[in-house]
Structure 1
């Protein structure tokens, strides 16, 4: 069972995002997976569609319909929040990627990498068979 405080917090979050219950189309279907007879007999899978944005959410995380309703609404809120913040988030990712690409290794770090490469090369050279000598003759 979901805590009443969590339900109220989710309702506030949905209201803050501008999501009304009338904007959500809700359907119940039979879930698949673990759960046995209870799952096979009841329509506990929740299918939500946010009509204005067209976002679809399907949740069958729990055997209880009420729990799945809560989880589906929470997932819907996450998706809508990502859509709202998505443009700003993508821009921040691009800026971060450019900064990371522009960062150069320090001289000491470059030398360390080269030294490691030399050591690895020497190790591989030692594994090779000696050339020019034949003990079979």
Structure 2
């Protein structure tokens, strides 16, 4: 059972874990042992609350397919157990990140002092450039 928060849990039967062979270098171990983990989690069929499902389905993340399935591949470690734990942790982080509420931006105006300083610096810079010109006699 994967615990997301105190009230939200994901049962083991909802998460599909498949062991596959890792890609990349690693010698004979890569060719013999299936240590990488391919995790699939169907959002629509899950027992998550509706709020979680809505936010996860609206995510613009490459790990979420158009059918509403989260696909995570973990091949960071040499052992299958470590890759399984890493994949589950990444799933938990993805779900928690979807629930973070973005702070709304309040539009502000620049202060009079900052506007004056900006214009003064522009006129000073323009004056410096004028002094660089060729002198006409």
- Name the TM-score class by shorter chain: 0.5 to 0.7
Unaligned runs of 5+ residues in structure 2 are 46-67
Higher percent of residues as helix? 1
After TM superposition, what 4+ stretches of structure 1 lie above 4 angstroms from structure 2? none
TM-score by length of 2: 0.65
Larger radius of gyration: 1
Paired residues in the alignment total 113
User: Which structure's relative contact order is higher, taking Cα pairs within 8 Å and 6+ residues apart?
Assistant: 2
Q: How does 1:50-65 map to 2 (within 5 A)?
A: 50-51=41-42, 52=45, 54-65=69-80
Unaligned runs of 5+ residues in structure 1 are 1-9
Alpha-carbon RMSD? 2.7
Higher percent of residues as strand? 2
Distance 1:44 1:126 in 2: 70
Matched, 1:42 2:57: no
TM-score by length of 1: 0.65
